């Protein structure tokens, strides 16, 4: 049995699919003239294989992943048939006497150099296509297996060193039943995305990639963090039973979907909302009784693509989400790229400390072109539902003022262009930097609401990297300092007649419910999969119990004692 971090609850059983990029060795020695013909044949065979794979992928993704993904492979296929590209590669083989894989590499670099400098979105996309197709071609030439999450065609457990957040979003739930990774932590975006898609996952297993072979049977217990490789019949049976119990529990909680998230004595009701990363997540949110979207991580619209999403594309997405969720509110968080979320469409420097670096609002206030495009799209979508704007990673009043100045200039532009938009849109900020939590009384004067992002707030307050499994034991959301910060934020917002929500992972933690209720949070936003469990906990305690728990916790000096108190209160959940 292996033990890692229980990143996304549920049990998955299936065959291992090793998702590991194998290195390709490029032969840079010159070809002998007599070898040219044979090497042209190697290239032609690899090209035919590439086209065959892409045709299969178009068909598969068209059926499984939607026409958007299929279109990507269609343009790759088109590239693979491009005479200029193929001609250039062949010339490298015949004239420059290069091995086919080196020839492909040289052609890729040449095209990149010629077109890379052009500021044209269409051309940028084509270069990305050329790079993808050429990388596939090189692997086919060298006989290196191509592993892709889009190509998992039987029910599998993905085994990887790490998965990026965008890998996780792409997972086809019908085929990828669960995943296990060597590295990772509970609040990495990969884990967060797994939870929101209800894919059982265990991360931070150190060396699972070395222990599992393709085809091994793997049990993933995402609730306890346990993983079994090639289990015997008895264990397999036990886990199938556990899997059934997990499903039954989910069904039992379904009865709560329509009931309010109020305390047992009906003295306090909170708004339970969902964190989403795409339109598709809305369905799941509504099925689990979400009363809105408390956090739409818009950065997922920017990932896995070489060209920035246009205003129109963003507007369509935001509008559809606003409409789907109406009359409930939708909080659209402006681009929070950086940290563990990257995009090829924004040039981001390599940084020593990306989480402390150029990310989120810091990028937006510099790249005002990107920011304003997004703000215009959000403002326009505001006409189709109850949309709110939220700025991430605020550390200083000046950032809010600057962001609002750009928002007003986006409004003026829309006015001048006679494009309708929501004028009275509510503006909020995330409280995820200690400086913002401490100076919340000042910041609240500029905004309508706060949402506490505990994922970052905990890492910055305790100086513990949220991504690092080595220090995960130090990542303690119930540390007294964190509770005091939350208390301060809620209290100053209430004094100002405003409200505070929470959209960090702590909001979806059943154990935290008494304290969060007791501290007076008005809204809790979480992965859809956590909504009903949290609601069930809220409905099982009185406001008095919750307030008492919060007061007791605030007086305790040791984190362990606070944790114990909360464990007792949530016993049985």
Question: Contacting Mg ion (CB under 5 A), which of 132, 456, 522, 547?
Answer: 456
Residue 72's SS3 state is: helix
Distance CA 503, CA 505 (A): 7
Q: Which is nearer to ligand PEP, 65 or 427 (CB)?
A: 427
Q: Which is nearer to Mg ion, 10 or 453 (CB)?
A: 453
Alpha-carbon gap, residue 287 to 257, rounded angstroms:
7
Q: What are phi and psi of 471, to 5 degrees?
A: -110, 15
List binders of ligand PEP among 123-162 (CB under 6 A).
Answer: none
Nearer to ligand PEP, 132 or 456 (CB): 456
Question: Which residues 416-435 are close enough to bind ligand PEP by CB under 6 A?
Answer: 432
- Could you say which residues in the range 84-143 bind Mg ion, by CB under 5 A? none
Q: Residue count at the site for ligand PEP (CB under 6 A)? A: 10
Q: Which of 216, 167, 172, 211 is nearest to 193 (CA)?
A: 167
DSSP letters of 2-55? EE-EEEE-SEEEEEEEEE-PPP-----SPPPGGGHHHHHHHHHHHHHHHHHHHH
Question: Nearest-CA neighbor of 554 among 467, 470, 474, 491?
Answer: 491
Residue 193 touching ligand PEP (CB under 6 A): no
The residue behind tokens 């306090």 is 268
- Is 76 considered catalytic here? no
C-alpha span between 162 and 259 (Å, rounded): 39
Is 8 a binding residue for ligand PEP by CB under 6 A? The answer is no
Among 277, 504, 508, 518, binds ligand PEP (CB under 6 A): 504
- Pick from 330, 370, 503, 565: which binds ligand PEP (CB under 6 A)? 503
Query: 246 or 355, CB closer to ligand PEP?
Result: 355
Cβ 260 to ligand PEP shortest distance, Å: 24
Per annotation, catalytic residue among 76, 99, 189, 328: 189
> In the complex with ligand PEP, which residue's Cβ is closer, 466 or 511?
466
The residues, any chain, with a CB within 8 Å of residue 11's CB and separated by 6 or more, are: 178, 200, 219, 220, 221, 222, 223, 239, 242, 243, 246
β-bridge mates for residue 229, sequence order:
218
Burial of 471 (0-12, 13-18, 19+ CB in 10 A): middle
HSE, side-chain direction, 13 A CA sphere, residue 547: 8
Q: Which of 53, 284, 314, 455 binds ligand PEP (CB under 6 A)?
A: 455
Q: What is 406-442 written as a DSSP string?
A: HHHHHHHHHHHTT----TT-EEEEEE-SHHHHHTHHH
Stretch that binds ligand PEP, among 240-248, 451-459, 509-517, 533-541 (CB under 6 A): 451-459
Between 152 and 191, whose beta carbon lies closer to Mg ion?
191
Q: Which is nearer to Mg ion, 138 or 431 (CB)?
A: 431
Query: Interface with ligand PEP includes 454 (CB under 6 A)?
Result: yes
CA dist., res. 279 & res. 333, Å (int): 14
User: Residue 327, preceding bond cis, omega within 30 degrees?
Assistant: yes
* Span of 155-163, 199-207, 379-387, 456-464 interacting with Mg ion by CB under 5 A: 456-464
Least distance from ligand PEP to the Cβ atom of residue 452, Å: 7
The contact mask relative to Mg ion for 410-439 (x = CB under 5 A, - = no) is: ----------------------x-------
Q: Is 189 a catalytic residue?
A: yes
Q: Which residues bind ligand PEP (CB under 6 A)?
A: 295, 297, 336, 432, 453-456, 503-504
Site residues for Mg ion per CB under 5 A = 432, 453, 456
Enumerate the active-site residues: 189, 503
């Amino acid at each position: 049995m292996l033990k890692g971090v229980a990143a996304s609850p549920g049990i998955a059983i299936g065959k291992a699919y090793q998702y590991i990029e194998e290195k390709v060795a490029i032969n840079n020695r010159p070809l002998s003239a007599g070898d040219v013909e044979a090497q042209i044949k190697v290239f032609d065979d690899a090209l035919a294989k590439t086209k065959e794979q892409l045709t299969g992928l178009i068909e598969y993704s068209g059926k499984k992943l939607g026409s958007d993904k299929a279109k990507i492979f269609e343009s790759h296929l088109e590239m693979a048939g491009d005479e200029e590209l193929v001609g250039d590669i062949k010339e490298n083989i015949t004239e420059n006497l290069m091995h086919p894989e080196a020839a492909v590499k040289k052609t890729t670099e040449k095209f990149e150099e010629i077109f890379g400098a052009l500021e044209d979105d269409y051309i940028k996309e084509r270069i990305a296509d050329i790079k993808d197709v050429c990388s596939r071609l090189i692997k086919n030439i060298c006989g290196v297996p191509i592993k892709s999450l889009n190509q998992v065609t039987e029910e599998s457990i993905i085994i990887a060193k790490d998965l990026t957040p965008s890998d996780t979003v792409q997972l086809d739930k019908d085929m990828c039943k669960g995943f296990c990774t060597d590295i990772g932590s509970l609040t990495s975006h990969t884990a967060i995305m797994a939870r929101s898609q209800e894919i059982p996952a265990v991360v931070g297993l150190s060396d699972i990639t070395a222990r599992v072979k393709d085809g091994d049977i793997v049990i993933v217990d995402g609730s306890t963090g346990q993983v079994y490789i090639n289990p015997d019949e008895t264990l397999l049976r036990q886990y199938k039973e556990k899997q059934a119990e997990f499903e039954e529990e989910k069904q039992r909680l379904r009865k709560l979907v329509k009931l309010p998230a109020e305390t047992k004595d009906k003295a306090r009701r909170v708004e339970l909302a969902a964190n989403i990363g795409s339109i598709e997540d809305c369905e799941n949110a509504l099925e689990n009784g979400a009363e809105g979207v408390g956090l739409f991580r818009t950065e997922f619209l920017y990932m896995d693509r070489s060209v920035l999403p246009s205003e129109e594309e963003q507007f369509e997405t935001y509008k559809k989400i606003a409409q789907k969720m109406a009359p409930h509110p939708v909080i659209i968080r402006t681009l929070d790229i950086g940290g563990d979320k990257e995009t090829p469409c924004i040039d981001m420097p390599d940084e020593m400390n990306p989480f402390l670096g150029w990310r989120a609002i810091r990028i937006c206030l510099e790249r005002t072109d990107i920011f304003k495009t997004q703000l215009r799209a959000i403002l326009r979508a505001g006409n189709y539902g109850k949309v709110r704007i939220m700025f991430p990673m605020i550390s200083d009043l000046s950032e809010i003022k600057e962001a609002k100045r750009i928002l007003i200039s986006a409004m003026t532009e829309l006015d001048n262009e006679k494009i309708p938009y929501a004028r009275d849109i509510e503006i909020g900020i995330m409280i995820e930097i200690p400086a913002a939590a401490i100076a919340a009384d000042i910041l609240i004067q500029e905004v309508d609401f706060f949402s506490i992002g505990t994922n970052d707030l905990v890492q910055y307050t305790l100086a513990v990297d949220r991504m690092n499994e080595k220090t995960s034991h130090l990542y303690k959301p119930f540390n007294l300092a964190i509770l005091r910060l939350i208390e301060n934020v809620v209290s100053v917002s209430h004094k100002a007649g405003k409200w505070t929500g929470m959209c960090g992972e702590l909001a979806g933690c059943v154990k935290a419910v008494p304290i969060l209720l007791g501290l007076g949070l008005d809204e809790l936003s979480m992965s859809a999969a956590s909504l009903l469990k949290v609601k069930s906990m809220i409905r099982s305690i009185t406001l008095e119990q919750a307030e008492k728990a919060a007061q007791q916790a605030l007086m305790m000096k040791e984190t362990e004692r606070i944790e114990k108190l909360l464990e007792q209160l949530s016993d049985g959940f």
